[in-house]
């Protein structure tokens, strides 16, 4: 989790000036325009640490830098040393990311951001309150409450995966039901990798089979997460990780797949990492019985896959498949499964809490030790029951029948706490876009109304047909992502796009840093005119790949009309959207030490000298180097 936080904070930090700075696309200070006079009232309006900026003499942009840098520091220390993987540290990480999320607006309204916040809450429960060295730990260092906390992580993983699979079918998207989604996905996803081009050209029968397997891993396998047989869960772990690695290789989904893999660790146990010698007798028989039951369960999964997807071998010795059930049958099954999983989850949690309470009573001696352990276990049990209860509200929305399982008081509490992102609804790729061609918005500038028009290149998104699709994850170029979403709608639905046009016309360097300045058609002065066109992109055929071209494209039409820097309708529109504040309401009330601003400016300068994804991997490599160097000495000290 520290590594995921490290990538998330670093990725956001390098983009703060262009996205949220005073001259950014959506200035954060415009979102902190509260009429409340007291700090507590402002925090109630929008809970964020950014309200503290005036008290230390910083404006909002500098304060965002401070919060992001603090997040990077806390995450890095937790990465290189378990001494800092404590509940207070993770509480700090959550608070910092949540504070930035509060002003993130459209550039942070992604499922992985709320997933990080929800997983961050659970990290506070999983992490110890304070670090204890190995010499001071018990032989069995885990507390009874640990199993309760890890159960919540597993429940989050179940909701994430199961919902992501179900929504693909409940959306009634013809590509998912026709098992043709993957014939489109690798070409139409937001920022594909170069391997996605090769995946797109795999045999059609293989992509259809892969589509069916995706449904099995996302919908069928998560139902086995709570089976009380460890070998069943371990196989489920490998299947989930396999899917995430496949996605990482073909798509740039920032830290989303990494955090999903982290959640998958909840399917494992200590024995997976520290293998014990197999004991004879009853234990050996139990292991053998577990293997037999595991084989039977996954044999059933294979048979269900064969039946439900009508898998068959064609006369050409290819494997073909089709969805072997109707939408009505799936709806009927879902109406039973959603309530059933809630009740099974409740029963599973009750068993975990009961086992923890029994362990608290039987495994501890001494009145104080026993009472404190019981109190901790009861507290964790109540917290887990509450979190589970409110999580059933968004989860039950998968099907109307699930509403019968939601107690009204839980719906009330979920509504009250919804802004904290403690529990959320999930479901990626509900409908496959780009079936008729990948839509892309291309910005074009000129110094004359009649042209010639020259294109602006972005750092990562598709534009130049000869540019190689990059590997950029775990960095998330949020502007590139939003340009992909903008292409699916109109510019009227994306007011930030007008702000982007305005900043380009005024040559704002902070915003231009988010574009490919090395290939800018206007390196010295911004263009006088700017417009946008909509294109449809397709991968080049296999036979043309050796020419060096990755894409072909055709122009669809105008996306937004010609704008100038002094275009009155544009300025009025941005002013009405509060993207152009009329006065500087963000001045610090006190003078901060000049050295602090100089330090922040120097760090910002250094960060801009390195490509973002390279910067992130450099920090990660530095952490690995520190662990490698300090590892032997730590091992010697323990000995």
Q: Token pair of 466, please?
A: 């000869």
What whole-number distance in Å separates Cα of residue 517 and Cα of residue 303? 55
| Mean pLDDT, residues 166-191 | 95
pLDDT digits (tens, 9 = 90+) for 76-90: 999 999 999 999 999
Rounded percentage of the chain residues whose pLDDT exceeds 70: 94
Q: Token pair of 631, please?
A: 């590892």
| Mean pLDDT, residues 108-112 | 94
Residue 633 pLDDT grade (very low, low, confident, very high; cuts 50, 70, 90): very low
Helix (H, G, I), strand (E, B) or coil at 182: helix
Q: Where are the beta strands (DSSP E) in 260-363?
A: 312-313, 319-320
Q: Token pair of 523, please?
A: 């390196």
Hey, what's the torsion of the CAs at 527, 531, 534, 535, to 10 degrees? -30
pLDDT above 60 for 591: no
Higher pLDDT, 519 or 35: 519
pLDDT digits (tens, 9 = 90+) for 60-75: 999 999 999 999 999 9
pLDDT above 70 for 468: yes
What whole-number distance in Å separates Cα of residue 394 and Cα of residue 376? 28
Task: Output the pTM of the full model.
Answer: 0.94
What whole-number distance in Å separates Cα of residue 480 and Cα of residue 612? 13
Residue 136 pLDDT grade (very low, low, confident, very high; cuts 50, 70, 90): low
Q: Which residues pair with 319 in a beta bridge?
A: 313
pLDDT digits (tens, 9 = 90+) for 394-428: 999 999 988 888 889 999 999 999 999 999 999 88
Residues 185 and 210 sit within 8 Å (Cβ to Cβ): no
What whole-number distance in Å separates Cα of residue 466 and Cα of residue 384? 52
The chain-wide mean pLDDT, for the chain, equals 91
CA distances for 363 relative to 68, 125, 139, 368, 380, angstroms = 43, 22, 12, 13, 18
The pLDDT of residue 212:
96
Enter the DSSP assignment of 536: E
Q: 3-state SS string over 544-610? A: HHHHCCCEEEEEEEEEEEEEECCCHHHHHHHHHCCCCCCCCCCCCCCCCCHHHHHHHHHHHHHHHCC
What whole-number distance in Å separates Cα of residue 374 and Cα of residue 367? 11
What whole-number distance in Å separates Cα of residue 259 and Cα of residue 287? 31
Owner of token pair 């047909």: 465
**Which of 159, 216, 165 minimizes the C-alpha distance to 341?**
159
Residue 543 pLDDT grade (very low, low, confident, very high; cuts 50, 70, 90): confident
What whole-number distance in Å separates Cα of residue 582 and Cα of residue 253? 37
Residues 294 and 229 sit within 8 Å (Cβ to Cβ): yes
Helix (H, G, I), strand (E, B) or coil at 516: coil
The pLDDT of residue 635:
43
pLDDT above 50 for 605: yes
The pLDDT of residue 417:
94
The pLDDT of residue 584:
53
């Amino acid at each position: 989790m520290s590594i995921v936080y490290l990538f998330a904070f670093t990725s956001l930090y390098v983009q703060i000036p262009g996205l949220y700075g005073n001259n950014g696309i959506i200035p954060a200070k415009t979102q902190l325009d509260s009429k409340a006079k007291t700090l507590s009232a402002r925090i109630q309006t929008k809970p964020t640490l950014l309200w503290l900026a005036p008290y230390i003499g910083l404006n909002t942009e500098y304060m965002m830098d401070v919060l992001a840098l603090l997040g990077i520091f806390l995450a890095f220390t937790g990465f290189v040393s378990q001494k800092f993987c404590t509940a207070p540290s993770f509480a700090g990480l959550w608070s910092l990311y949540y504070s930035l999320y509060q002003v993130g607006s459209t550039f942070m309204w992604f499922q992985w951001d709320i997933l990080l916040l929800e997983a961050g809450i659970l990290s506070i429960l999983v992490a110890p309150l304070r670090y204890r060295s190995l010499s001071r730990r018990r032989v069995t260092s885990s507390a009874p409450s640990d199993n309760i906390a890890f159960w919540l992580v597993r429940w989050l993983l179940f909701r994430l995966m199961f919902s992501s699979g179900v929504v693909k079918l409940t959306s009634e998207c013809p590509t998912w039901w026709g098992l043709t989604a993957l014939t489109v996905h690798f070409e139409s996803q937001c920022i594909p990798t170069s391997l996605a081009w090769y995946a797109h050209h795999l045999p059609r029968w293989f992509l259809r089979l892969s589509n069916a397997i995706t449904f099995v891993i996302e919908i069928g396998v998560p139902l086995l997460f709570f089976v009380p047989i460890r070998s069943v869960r371990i196989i489920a772990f490998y299947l989930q990780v396999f899917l995430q690695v496949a996605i990482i290789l073909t798509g740039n989904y920032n830290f989303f797949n990494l955090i999903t893999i982290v959640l998958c660790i909840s399917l494992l146990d200590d024995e997976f990492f520290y293998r014990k010698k197999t004991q004879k007798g009853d234990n050996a028989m139990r292991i053998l019985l577990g293997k037999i039951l595991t084989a039977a369960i996954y044999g059933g999964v294979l048979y269900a896959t064969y039946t439900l997807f009508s898998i068959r071998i064609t006369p050409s010795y290819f494997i073909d498949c089709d969805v072997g059930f109707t939408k009505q049958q799936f709806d009927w099954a879902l109406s039973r499964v959603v309530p059933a999983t809630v009740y099974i989850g409740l029963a599973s949690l009750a068993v975990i809490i009961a086992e923890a309470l029994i362990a608290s009573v039987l495994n501890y001696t001494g009145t104080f030790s026993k009472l404190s352990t019981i109190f901790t276990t009861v507290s964790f049990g109540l917290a887990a029951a509450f979190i589970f209860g409110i999580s059933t509200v968004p989860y039950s929305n998968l099907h109307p029948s699930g509403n019968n399982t939601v107690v009204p008081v839980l719906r009330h509490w979920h509504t009250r706490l919804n802004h904290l992102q403690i529990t959320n609804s999930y479901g990626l790729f509900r409908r496959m876009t780009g079936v008729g061609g990948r839509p892309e918005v291309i910005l074009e500038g000129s110094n004359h109304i009649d042209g010639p028009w020259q294109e602006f290149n972005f750092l990562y998104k598709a534009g130049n047909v000869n540019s190689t699709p990059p590997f950029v994850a775990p960095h998330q170029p949020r502007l590139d992502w939003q340009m992909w979403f903008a292409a699916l709608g109109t510019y009227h639905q994306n007011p930030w796009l007008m702000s982007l046009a305005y900043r380009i016309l005024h040559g704002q360097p902070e915003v231009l840093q988010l574009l490919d300045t090395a290939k800018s058609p206007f390196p010295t002065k911004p263009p006088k005119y700017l417009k946008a066109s909509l294109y449809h992109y397709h991968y080049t055929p296999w036979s043309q790949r050796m020419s060096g071209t990755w894409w072909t494209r055709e122009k669809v039409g105008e996306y937004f009309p010609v704008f100038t820097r002094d275009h009155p309708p544009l300025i009025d529109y941005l002013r009405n959207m509060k993207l152009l504040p009329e006065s500087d309401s963000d001045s610090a009330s006190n003078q901060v030490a000049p050295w602090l601003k100089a330090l922040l400016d120097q760090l910002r300068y250094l960060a801009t000298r390195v490509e973002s994804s390279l910067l992130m991997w450099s920090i990660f490599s530095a952490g690995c180097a520190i662990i490698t160097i300090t590892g032997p000495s730590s091992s010697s000290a323990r000995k």
